[in-house]
Structure 1
Amino acid sequence: MKKSLILFSLFLILFSCQQTPPTKKVRKPAPVRHQPKSVAYQLVKTKEWLATTTDSTQFSIALAVNRTDRKNIVKMDSIVIPTDMTGDIAYYLPFPLEVPYLNDVDKIIFFSYATQTFAAYENGQLVYTGPTNMGRKADPTPTGLFHTNWKAEKTTSTFNDEWDLRWNFNVANKLGVGWHQYELPGYPASHSCLRLQEKDARYLYDWADQWILKDEEHVLVKGTPVVIFGSYDFGAPKPWLQLTSNPKALDISAAAIEKLVSPYLKQLIAEQLNRAKLQAN
């Protein structure tokens, strides 16, 4: 009997040693994506292209590449179109698929002013990306590190009470800046907010974390980090027109992302641990 108990105890010890330690993160596998054979672009007449295109996936790619939406693409004389549209949308937008420097960051979102695109990462893996139209010249979007705080499925603009904003997620509470669904004319046109297509605004609305408040004046835990960076040359042609001559003209490297995040990394990890501790209690 004693021998059986000893063997059973040894089995339990060996089995427990093979298990993943409770503090070790189990990372999600990289998203499965379909890569196009090549990435190149051409400038085409909008009406002609729309008249011959019925594929919804290709239409979505065209909207993203031209930083616009269904309502506004028809107003454009010419648009930039990939010559091979068989790939996933991530291959036609500038953010890298992986950023190893972010391996320990659970969630983070980037908005690029220069390219008018955004990207969401989980532990260094790109999980979602799309177009945005940010602040116009007179009302630029502030840059730097922010965190998501409060959100609302529908709210009213502080600039015009006739503007209904869907899937609004605030990132700068005192400044009133956040992302939300609103029309994308294909250039920075907002009053400092981050305009998105509705499907993208809804995704980020569900994906990002809100802050956790102790009371009306004190924040216990900040929300998902949001890095807004770069600048837009309002006097130059739309940047994505460069893609027709250089498909990599707007690419954002993993090294560039690392440089952006490195001043904040310790702060981000501390906030992340703070959230984990609070949620564990």
Structure 2
Amino acid sequence: MTALELKRVANVIRQDIISMLAAAKSGHPGGSLSAADIVATLFFNEMRLNPNDPHWEDRDRFVLSKGHAAPVLYSALAEKGYFPKEELQGLRQTGHMLQGHPDMKKTPGVDMSTGSLGQGLSAANGMALAGKLDGKDYRVYTVLGDGEMAEGQIWEAAMAAAHYKLDNLTAILDYNGLQIDGKTDSVMCSAPLAQKWQAFCWHVIEVDGHDIDALLAGFAEAKQVKGRPTMIIAKTVKGKGVSFMEDQAGWHGNAPSLEQAEQALKELREEAKNLG
């Protein structure tokens, strides 16, 4: 897809996020919206996938380490054709497949159940190492939250990935600067992140996480790196695309009311018009 086409996909994903959270009356809009451009670029340009065969051995793998942002993943999977879009309206509801956090046993296309923060990178390491041991050429991608950087397991996994030279692994940090309790720098400062990941022997790329061209260039660069994993630090805005949600920690885990959802969808549809 072109960058413009990927922007359109990201806009559709953001509309899906708002609609499903309003229907569920619960969930996490802020970090789902901030990751939409990243996920759209991965699922509709970068990753080798087969929705007709979710368990295809040679597929690229994806781990949403910040599992509370499940709506962004569910929308991408539905748009990609893993299940009917109607399922999105069953988010967090009894009798439906879409749990509050990704469940690989219930949802086609989910490669790893996540939700307890800090564990996704370890799972991605295992997938990447298995690929190397099996002589496979698939790649593994994992999206992390910046609040997750306070988890010790992240740094253990960072050391392990470098030790095993997992150059088939790319981690993307959704660096929106906010978590449930406020600014990440105030809750538990993890800066300077680029220098820390470099010190852990990772190849580090810094991009604007809403600039599709920058994301495309970052993923292309990561594929050329040999002998070490890659961390793409993507600077984003929490709640991106909805004016009253942008850069507001209060929208970390609060679903919009029907009236708020209407306003949010109005803004996103206007953006869609501008994208042509």
TM-score, length basis structure 2: 0.25
Structure with bigger RCO (C-alpha 8 Å, 6+ apart): 2
Structure with higher Rg: it is 1
Q: Please identify which structure carries the higher helix content.
A: 2
TM-score, length basis structure 1: 0.25
Q: Please identify which structure carries the higher strand content.
A: 1
